[in-house]
A and B are shown apart, each in its own frame.
Chain A
Amino acid sequence: DAGITQSPRYKITETGRQVTLMCHQTWSHSYMFWYRQDLGHGLRLIYYSAAADITDKGEVPDGYVVSRSKTENFPLTLESATRSQTSVYFCASSEQGRETQYFGPGTRLLVL
């Protein structure tokens, strides 16, 4: 499918488990982003990547790990999930640094 996809769409896990959220885009956009959306906080940037093998922290990076070995993929890993990481996670991409971002449909994560 063309565009940006996220998997899984819904995930339930337990505290302490490792979870990986996948993001794939077909446009070969240089930039990719991970956000979390929480009530009262809006969208907060977790990590972003300007190109393959280039990643940097956003506003709330603690407890998350990212990698970008290929331009089209940008997985987000919660190394040891905590209840505070229950959220809706959005992946986004943009062609260049100063352009609009295209968002995926989101992954709803519940940590018990």
Chain B
Amino acid sequence: DQQVKQNSPSLSVQEGRISILNCDYTNSMFDYFLWYKKYPAEGPTFLISISSIKDKNEDGRFTVFLNKSAKHLSLHIVPSQPGDSAVYFCAADRYNSGGYQKVTFGTGTKLQVIP
């Protein structure tokens, strides 16, 4: 049962345009969401996060939007640059009964920014 879903395995965008990556989740207990970026042959690196008490968080060219009622979040990259070409993972966090962090990752979306 995939609790965090990224339904688009890949996305191609022209340089300078907006990239929108989407993520849906099913577990209403998730209350903290993160995006990670991964280049080939490297580990994922943290990009941006958002708490469920917010509906938007912005960091430079990257903005994450959260719609709790729809259990949906999206990552906007404006403007897109060729160096943004990578796999993007959505992740959702909740405390389990033991009080420890337990993060669930989505399947990833491969973004290609075309020069």
Residues of B within 8 A of A106 (CB): 41-43
User: Size class of B's contact patch?
Assistant: 20 to 34
Say which residue of A4, A44, A56, A59 sits within 8 Å of B100 (CB atoms).
A56
**Most chain B CB atoms below 10 A, which of A4, A31, A97:** A97
Which residues of chain A (62-112) have a CB below 8 Å from chain B?
90, 92, 94, 97-98, 100-106
Contact at A90–B44, with CB atoms within 8 Å? yes
Task: Across the interface, name the chain B residue whose C-beta is closest to A4.
Answer: B43
CA distance in complex: A66, B41 (Å): 24
Residues of A within 8 A of B95 (CB): 97
Task: Across the interface, name the chain A residue whose C-beta is closest to B51.
Answer: A98
Say which residue of A31, A41, A48, A105 sits within 8 Å of B107 (CB atoms).
A41
Contact at B42–A42, with CB atoms within 8 Å? no
Does any Cβ of B come within 8 Å of A46's Cβ? no
Contact at A42–B89, with CB atoms within 8 Å? yes
Contact at B89–A97, with CB atoms within 8 Å? no
Known A-B contacts A106-B41, A106-B42; A94 and B101 likewise in contact (beta carbons under 8 Å): yes
A60 to chain B: closest CB distance in Å?
A: 12
CA distance in complex: A102, B45 (Å): 7
Residues of B within 8 A of A100 (CB): 34, 46, 49
Given contacts A42-B106, A102-B46, 13 further A-B contacts (CB under 8 A): A40-B107, A42-B6, A42-B89, A42-B105, A43-B91, A43-B105, A59-B104, A92-B43, A94-B101, A97-B100, A103-B43, A103-B45, A105-B41
Residues of A whose CB lies within 8 Å of any CB of B are 4, 31, 33, 35, 40-45, 48, 50, 56, 58-59, 90, 92, 94, 97-98, 100-106
